[in-house]
Chain A
């Protein structure tokens, strides 16, 4: 059974860097046709796609966030990570990590429970 778990600071100051890690169990992040993804949800609002790192190490970022976002993988720890630079209060959200199966179907079949990150001084 695949499980994902987000971890990282719950409070980040404006202009600083938000850093989160997703620990994956039950499957290798280097295997299969999987795309390891970050999605966020501001309080009371809808879901926003951030981007992915693939099983082969390729990355893709939502154009609206591309200049501030990076996703990396640590295969030895079976983890992938998100960094968002120069955060503002608009980056306050619950951040979810998820697994997308294949690329064509928008099929996110496994999700972490989510972690709330608040941007505040």
Chain B
């Protein structure tokens, strides 16, 4: 299957660490990227090439992949990290898939 599966919602206490996961067969062979989207805004690239951060993205954001599961970890979550997070990867046919998204709540 080329689908990417994410938990619909995750919560984290302010300052704590949270992991958002993404599962899919394509992750065994292709790189994953992660996007943050706040209401009314375009998605923002936060992680690419599994664990690379674009300039301007805080180093509390990190990524990893093991087998068919990719993870986005926020170490020391801040109030401004409350958003929807989407994983993305291409598949063997050349198509790109986005996960269904995870709504992160910072308590």
Q: Please give the residue numbers on chain A whose beta carbons come within 8 Å of chain B beta carbons, in ascending order.
A: 39, 46-49, 60, 62-63, 96, 98, 103-109, 111-114
Per-position binary interface string of chain B over residues 66-104, scored 1 when its CB falls under 8 Å from any chain A CB and 0 otherwise: 000000000000000000001011100111111111000
Those of B23-50 within 8 Å (CB) of chain A: 30-33, 35, 37, 41-45, 48-49
Residues of chain A lying within 8 A (CB to CB) of residue B32 = 106
Q: How many residues of B contact A (CB 8 A)?
A: 27
Residues of chain B lying within 8 A (CB to CB) of residue A103 = 90
Q: Is the interface of A mostly helix, strand, loop or mixed?
A: loop
In the bound complex, do residue A108 and residue B45 qualify as a contact, i.e. CB atoms below 8 Å apart?
A: yes
Can you spell out 12 A-B residue pairs with CB atoms less than 8 angstroms apart? A39-B98, A46-B100, A48-B98, A49-B95, A49-B97, A98-B42, A105-B31, A106-B96, A108-B33, A109-B54, A111-B42, A112-B42
In the bound complex, do residue A46 and residue B99 qualify as a contact, i.e. CB atoms below 8 Å apart?
A: yes
Residues of chain A lying within 8 A (CB to CB) of residue B45 = 107-109
Residues of chain A lying within 8 A (CB to CB) of residue B49 = 105, 107
